[in-house]
Structure 1
Amino acid sequence: MVRAGELLDDVRAKMSQEAALRIGTDELVSAADEFQQKWRYGAEQIGKGVEATAEGLRRTHDAYASTEQAFTDALNKVGQSIAQPGAAAPGATIA
Structure 2
Amino acid sequence: MESDLQVNTDQLGRFATALSRSLTSLSEARRALEHVRAAQLGTKELDEACDGFQGRWKYGADQLSARIRTVHVGVKLSREGYAQVNKAIESAFRAVDSRA
Normalising by structure 1, report the TM-score: 0.77
**Alpha-carbon distance in 2 for matches of 1:76, 1:2:** 36
Question: Which residue of 31, 34, 44 maps to 1:13?
Answer: 31
Question: Which residue of 66, 70, 85 maps to 1:48?
Answer: 66
**Alpha-carbon distance in 1 for matches of 2:72, 2:86:** 21
Which ranges in structure 1 are unaligned for 5 or more consecutive residues?
Answer: 83-95
The alignment of Structure 1 onto Structure 2 pairs a total of residues equal to 82
60-69 vs 50-59, greater mean Cα deviation: 50-59
47-56 vs 58-67, greater mean Cα deviation: 47-56
Q: Which residue of 1 aligns with 2:54?
A: 36
Normalising by structure 2, report the TM-score: 0.73
Partner AA of 2:71 in structure 1: T
Structure 1 residue ranges (4+ consecutive) displaced by more than 4 angstroms after TM superposition: none
Which ranges in structure 2 are unaligned for 5 or more consecutive residues?
Answer: 1-18
Query: Percentage identity across aligned positions?
Result: 28
Find out whether 1:58 has 2:76 as its counterpart.
Answer: yes
* Superposition deviation, residue 54 in structure 1: 1.4
38-47 vs 61-70, greater mean Cα deviation: 38-47
Looking at both structures, which has the greater relative contact order when contacts are Cα pairs under 8 Å and sequence separation is at least 6? Answer: 2
Q: Which residue of 2 aligns with 1:93?
A: none
**Alpha-carbon distance in 2 for matches of 1:3, 1:73:** 34
